Amino acid sequence: MSDTGIVHLENVSKDYILGEQKVQALKDITLDIASGAFLAIAGPSGSGKSTLLNLIGCIDTPTAGKVLINGQDISGRTPDDLSGLRARTIGFVFQTFNLFPVLSAEENVEYPLLQFRELKTAERRIRVAEYLDIVGLSRFARHRPNQLSGGQRQRVAIARALATHPKIVLADEPTANLDHATGEGILELMKNINDKFETTFIFSTHDSRVMAIADNVIHIQDGQIVQREIRKEKSMHVIEHRDR
């Protein structure tokens, strides 16, 4: 089998031990996600969608099966082993924003760039300014998170995720703490970035707004894929799957 997707999972299972009990969070998942996808992984709480996102994000590794991220096999490696791949390939956007309260918007965006030793200070500042402009927050660069609205904080989080030039952005319930209008604006911003830069976006969600705007939707329940909606057949958006 050729591994064509930027994300490729083959017969992946994930078990957790809780006390003396084994809980199977994912069961025999096979999935390809092509570069440039705008994909929603949908399902109720406890369905396994966050576990799946953690595997794609190199925060966790599978109990069985194979996971390739941008062509690299993460199976059998520890999260520490994967820190370099995670830093340079994946950006994260969380429902709680996860910004440093003592840092300004520009400092929050710059923070993940500090580990890129090849970037000089001037290059970092240019990149930070560029991405704050993309998310429409240039004039709020010196503001701290407590001086920003929820929507503005999420825009800072998006700028931070993009500043490392990731191939994949993972968004875990990014609209959960936002009102309807603000959530719509955040989703539209992400879709515009996806269209312009062809960055792959993968959402974990049970928000119907996210599912409505996604090019493709994977429905997961009890650790298994139960439905796949392929809405766009463009080569950079298509999800290929091979069920056994």
Using 50 as the pLDDT threshold, list the residues of the chain that sit under it: 1-3, 234-244
* pLDDT for res 4: 63
DSSP codes joined into one string, 109-157: HHGGGGG-TTS-HHHHHHHHHHHHHHTT-GGGTT--GGGS-HHHHHHHH
- CATH architecture, domain 38-61+85-230: 3-Layer(aba) Sandwich (3.40)
Question: φ and ψ at 142, to 5 degrees?
Answer: -90, 0
Give tens-digit pLDDT for 86-100: 999 999 998 889 999
Which SS3 state, helix, strand or coil, does residue 10 take? strand
Whole-number pLDDT of residue 241: 42
Over the stretch 191-226, which tens digit does the pLDDT of each residue have? 999 999 999 999 999 899 999 999 999 999 999 999
Query: How far, CA to CA in Å, does 115 sit from each of 132, 148, 225?
Result: 19, 26, 36
pLDDT for 95 equals 87
Does this model's pTM top 0.85? My answer is yes
Residue 137's pLDDT is: 96
The Cα-based distances of 160 to 69, 124, 157, 172 in angstroms read 21, 12, 5, 15
pLDDT value, residue 233: 56
Contact between 82 and 74 (Cβ < 8 Å)? yes
